[in-house]
A and B are shown apart, each in its own frame.
Chain A
Amino acid sequence: MDGAAGFAERKAGVIRTILVRRLTLGVFSAVALVVLFTSRLSYRNPLFYSPIVWFLLTFPFKALIERMKRERALQWAHTGFFLAEAVLITILVHFMGGSTWIGNIFYLFTVLYANFFLPRVYGAVVTGWVVACYATLVLLESVGILPHRSLFAVAGDSYQSLSYNVATILAGTVALYSVVAFTVRTFAAIDARKNRMLAERELELARMSKRLLGAQDEERRRIARGLHDGLIQSLAAIKLHLAPAKARLGEDDYREVTGIVDEAIRQTRTLAYSIRPPLLDDLGLVPSLDRLAASVGEESGLAVRVESDLDGRLDREAEGLLYHVAREALENVVRHAKARRATIRISAEGAWVRLAIEDDGIGISPDGPRGLGLRGIEERVTIAGGAVSLASTPERGTIVTVEVPCGDDADRDRR
């Protein structure tokens, strides 16, 4: 699951949380502005500018996080955001007189997100930093280095003792955020395990599909071979043995019996061919494609050319797959494209083989619904670790391009 896709997903998750923050703080800022213009309170009141400053803080950090290319860097930037946020919140809490009420609640999202998105150590550092910031503020206010401020002057605002502050608020903060951090951490762990299991299952599924397709291929090859090397040979042997008996049978009977044997040979050969063309195993991909092109041409009138710069044979799996792709694609062209000509191009590039099937038909919409044939191609190629692309111009034709890894080099690449 780890890899480029996993990282991109986690990064997107982080950016989403920053956007959620921006949205909530944006709403707060808007409300604050409305209050500012409809009341006689001063704009210097931290109630107004605090959500706006917090809101603005999301911009540079989102930009920073978007630039991150590695997991570790992303975690550092995210942690930096939480640490800066905690300092800012502490300043706001001070101006809002938060130390005399439950101002520590403003750190909630910081602790929540930090423990959900960051590894254990980073989460603990942010949680500790939050508690330290709040404790420092309360202590500074309690010993009189910083004044107690209050948003709204409340009659009978009492000056609390140092021990009272330390005992209640600090203990409350430490207890509250320990519980929050622990709970979130547990959920995060469950989530991570679920993702990991899901990714493992997906991988297993892909492996299984590949094995299954391989087994199916092998089975088809076996059956086709059996028909060719067994049944058809025996039929041919019957025919050969009939010849010396021609005089005894008489000309008419001889013709009739050999006719029946010929028909049996023809039927068996057609069957074997549809299961897996023997050409593919005997001579390889390009002669098989030549034959395919010729037989499609005979049946449908579509003029098919084969162009190849392949040298020698590919591995069995790749030959089977590419032949299957070409056959499906040509079938599609015949059925839907209203084309007059088609070209099959095949070329090797390092450990990859590219097969392109081009036609001059009516074209298809690349975003439109795909026929079964094309979907089947995509499935099989994806399972083999390859890629399919489709380019089409209305009334000008379509090119289906397939690239698959092939041979020893590709195996090395994949490992």
Chain B
Amino acid sequence: MGTTRIAIVDDHALVRDGLARLLGLEEDLTVVGSCGDGAGTLTLAAACRPDVLLLDIALPDADGLDLVAEIRRVSPETRVLMLSMHSEPEYAAEAIARGACGLVAKSASAEALVDAIRRVAAGETLPSLDRLSLREREILALVAAGRSNDEVARELGIQRKTVDGHCERLMQKLDIHTRAALVAYGRRIAF
């Protein structure tokens, strides 16, 4: 397997630099470019066509989340991993809903950062669905398709109460607190 080509977008030069050094230590990762603002991001993405683009949510001239769709337009094969100082799960859910492959906190440990990048490069979405059971994935798919819990129960031939329980566990596992967020999350990643 070849090296994963990475581009970094962050307005904080020290963070950019630190990330580049950190990733430079890994043999299978190469940093191919970086910039510090929204305007340069699209040029960078179009020119480098990176495998993974690390994108800061808060840029001085743009909302990182708004850039995701445009990045995917100029470089469809690039997978965008959002970077943020915020670790609240709402950010991750929103990032996934907007077309990114997930979100990782800048304050995460070096190992976690590198791991996250590798997993995204391998096609995973973060937070990962590994933790979900088969039944939970099934239910998430139906909920994402806009079914009510009653309808889900009928379709799967199980009790309504069981569906309620599964939904609650799903939300717990994914750290999501409203049904709307669960639907958005499911639509984006599951299928």
Contacts and interface: CB of A to CB of B under 8 A. Distances in A.
Interface stretch (A2-10, A164-172, A186-194, A236-244): A236-244
A240 B15 contact: yes
A243 B85 contact: no
B181 interface: yes
10 contacts: A229-B12, A233-B12, A234-B12, A237-B15, A238-B18, A243-B22, A279-B91, A286-B180, A287-B90, A291-B90
Contacts of B63: 282
A232 B107 contact: yes
Nearest to A243: B110
Interface string B1-41: 00000000001101101110110110000000000000000
A291 B25 CA distance: 36
Given A265-B107, A279-B86, A279-B91, A240 B12 contact: no
B166 to A, nearest CB: 18
B86 A235 contact: no
Contacts of B15: 233, 236-237, 240
Contacts of A290: 90, 177-178, 181
Q: Name, among A240, A269, A294, the residue most crowded by chain B CB atoms within 10 Å (CB to CB).
A: A240
A244 B21 contact: yes
B25 A244 contact: yes
Interface string B86-127: 101011011000000000001101100000000000000000
A240 B21 contact: yes
A306 B25 contact: no
B57 interface: yes
A262 B178 CA distance: 30
B6 to A, nearest CB: 14
A269 B24 CA distance: 28
B169 to A, nearest CB: 15
Given A229-B58, A236-B106, A241-B21, A308 B180 contact: yes
7 closest Cβ contacts across the A-B interface? A240-B18, A237-B14, A243-B110, A287-B90, A236-B106, A233-B12, A290-B177
Contacts of B24: 244
Interface in B19-72: 19, 21-22, 24-25, 57-58, 63
A293 interface: yes
Contact of B14 (A228, A241, A293): A241
A278 B86 contact: yes
Interface residues of A, number: 34
Interface string A263-280: 001000100000000110
Interface residues on B, range: 20 to 34
A37 B85 CA distance: 95
Contact of A233 (B85, B94, B110): B85
Contacts of B19: 240
B177 to A, nearest CB: 4
A40 to B, nearest CB: 90
- The A interface, classified by DSSP as helix, strand, loop or mixed, is helix
Contacts of A236: 15, 18, 85, 106-107
Interface in B154-191: 175, 177-178, 180-181
A12 interface: no
A56 interface: no
Nearest to B13: A237
B177 A306 contact: yes
A258 interface: yes
Contacts of B177: 290-291, 293-294, 306
Contacts of A234: 12, 14
A235 B107 contact: yes
A283 interface: yes
Given A240-B21, A290-B177, A232 B109 contact: no
Given A279-B86, A306-B178, 8 more contacts: A228-B58, A228-B86, A233-B85, A238-B18, A243-B18, A287-B93, A307-B178, A308-B178
Nearest to B180: A308
Nearest to A258: B109
A312 to B, nearest CB: 13
Contacts of A232: 85, 107
A258 B112 CA distance: 14
A238 B63 CA distance: 25
Contact of A241 (B18, B94, B106, B181): B18
B145 to A, nearest CB: 20
Q: Name, among A236, A239, A265, A269, the residue most crowded by chain B CB atoms within 10 Å (CB to CB).
A: A236
B57 to A, nearest CB: 7
Nearest to B111: A243
Interface in A300-324: 305-308
A239 B107 contact: yes
Nearest to A268: B85
Given A233-B14, A282-B58, A290-B178, A240 B22 contact: yes
Contacts of A308: 178, 180
Nearest to B105: A236
A306 B24 CA distance: 44
A111 B125 CA distance: 86
